[in-house]
Amino acid sequence: MQYAIKTFMLFAAIVIITLGCNSEYIDSGEPIVATEISKEFVAPAQSPDLSDKSLELLNKIEFLEKQLRDNQDKESFTSVSAEANPSPQNLNSESAYHFDSLSQIEKAELIQSLPDPDLNTPPSAKITILNYSSYSTDDINRWVALAESKMSTRKSNILAWIYPVGELILPEQEIRGDPFMKHSVILTPAEIDTLMQSIETWLKADECMGSRNRKDHLKEELNRYRMWFEEGGDASTQATLCAETRIVAIGVSKHMRENEPLSNFQNLLIHEFYHSFQQDLDKEGKCRQKMEQENSNSRWFIEGAAHFFSEKVTSEINGNYNPLNKILENAWNLHKREGETRIDGGALDKSGAVGLQLLIEKELLIENAIMDGSLFHNCARELIYDKDSPELQHVRNSWYLINKNDEQFSLMPEAYIP
C-alpha cells in the first residue's frame, strides 16, 4: 500500500518540482492610452538564493509527505474496474488506483488535480495595453479581461501595443529578421517616439528586462520594435522576453480595419494574448529537448490551442453558439483550398485546433485544460502525450477528414478510428 502511494506521490513530485530563453509564436489620431487590467502592479519577487531554493524544496517535500500521511489509513490500492472511468474526482478515501496502470491522460488528470505545493505563489501579474488603433480601448480591455478571467492561474507581466499600418507595399517585402510584411507607415515620427518611450519605460521597470545583465537584450528588442513601427510591419506576435515577462504586438492593417469583420480582430487579439498566458513556452530540460525533435507536438499543440481558445471566446463575445463549426470550417478550407495534410504545416493553428478537438472527442484530453490554460503549465504536450503513440499518429493523419453539408461541418467517422 505504502509503495503504491509513494510511487504516485514521487511521480507527482518529480513533475511539480523539476519541470519548469526566449520563445516567440509567432487611422487613429488618438493619443496612446496605457491601460492596466490588474488593479495594482506588484514587482515579481527577487530570485531566491540557494538557501531560499532549498527552503522552497523542503516545503514542497513536506507538503507531499503530508499527503502521504493523510493516505496511510487506506488499506490498499485497488485496480481500476472495467466499469470505472478513472478521474481525479474518483480518487478518494474509498477507492484509489495503481498509478502505473493508468493511461497517459489519466496520469495527467491526477497530476493536474494535486494542489499547488508552492508556498510562494506570486501575486496576480499585470497587463498593460498601449492602444493606438481605431478600435475602442474599452472594448479591447473588456475582451482581454474576459480571456484572462478563464485562466486557472496567471504568472507573467504582459505589455501589449496595438497600432495601425497602411497599404501593403508591393512587391511584398518582409521586415528584416521577422515574418511581418512592410506597409505604408501611418504613425508619425513623434507618435513612434512616444510609443517607444512608453515601451522602454515599462521594460526598464520590469525586474528582469530592467536588470543590468539584460542591457544588451533590452537594446536589441527596442531596436527591433522601432523597425516594426518605422517600416509599417503588420506584427502579430507574442514574445517571451523573460520567464515572467511577455510582450504582445499587433500591427492592424488597413485591410483588416476596413474590409474584415470585427471578429477577425477580436480573434487575433485573443489568440496572441492566449500565447502570453501559456506558462511553459520557455521550459528547458527534457521539455526543450522534446520540443526540438522532429515532428514534436509543441508547434501544433501551442498554436492549435490558441486558435481553439480564441474561436471559443470570440464566439462567446458575439453570441455565436457554434464555435466548433467555425474551427472545422477553417481546417476544411486549409485542406481543400491549399491541399494541406500535415498537422504542423501551413496554418498549423487551424489544423492543430482540430487535432485537439479529436483528442477531446476520443477522451484523451479535457477541453477545460485548454480553456483554463492548465494544458500549458508543465509541458504536458511533450511529457504526457507521446508523439509516436498510435493515438497521436492517428490524429496527425486524420485532422483533415471533415465533411461539409451546406454550411455545417463535421468530422468524418473514419477520423475517430482507431
Same domain, 149 and 262: yes
Same domain, 358 and 385: yes
Same domain, 12 and 26: no
Is 283 part of a structural domain of the chain?
no
Same domain, 197 and 270: yes
Name the residue range of residue 132's domain.
21-45+122-277
Residues of the chain whose pLDDT is less than 70?
A: 1-124, 418
**Count of CB atoms situated within 10 Å of the CB of 175:** 20
CA–CA distance, 141 with 2 (Å, rounded to integer): 51
Same domain, 40 and 54: no
Cis ω on the peptide bond leading into residue 171 (within 30° of 0)? yes
Is 175 part of a structural domain of the chain?
yes
Lookup result for grid cell 529537448: 289
| Single pTM value for the model | 0.75
Q: Among 85, 113, 141, give the residue marking a domain's end.
A: 113
Same domain, 99 and 11: yes
Left if phi > 0, otherwise alpha if psi is -120 to 50, otherwise beta: which for 379? left
Q: Among 230, 249, 277, give the residue marking a domain's end.
A: 277
Same domain, 169 and 84: no
Q: Among 113, 140, 168, give the residue marking a domain's end.
A: 113
Which residue(s) pair with 278 in the sheet? none
Same domain, 89 and 38: no
Is 286 part of a structural domain of the chain?
no
Is 345 part of a structural domain of the chain?
yes
Phi, psi of 362 (to 5 degrees): -90, 10
CB contact set of 348 (below 8 Å; sequence gap of 6+) = 299, 300, 303, 304
- So what's the pLDDT on residue 238? 97
Q: How many structural domains is the chain composed of?
A: 3
Is 282 part of a structural domain of the chain?
no
Same domain, 129 and 266: yes
Same domain, 345 and 311: yes
Is 285 part of a structural domain of the chain?
no
Is the Cβ–Cβ distance between 387 and 287 less than 8 Å? Answer: no
CA–CA distance, 248 with 162 (Å, rounded to integer): 8
Is 232 part of a structural domain of the chain?
yes
Is 146 part of a structural domain of the chain?
yes
Same domain, 26 and 170: yes
CA–CA distance, 141 with 152 (Å, rounded to integer): 19
CA–CA distance, 86 with 75 (Å, rounded to integer): 19
C-alpha distances out from residue 230 to 241, 248, 285, Å: 22, 18, 38
Cis ω on the peptide bond leading into residue 179 (within 30° of 0)? no
- So what's the pLDDT on residue 277? 98
Same domain, 360 and 266: no
What DSSP character marks residue 81?
P
C-alpha distances out from residue 40 to 34, 105, 124, 127, 139, Å: 14, 38, 9, 10, 21
Question: Rounded to an integer, what is the distance from CA 197 to the centroid of its chain?
Answer: 28
- So what's the pLDDT on residue 82? 32
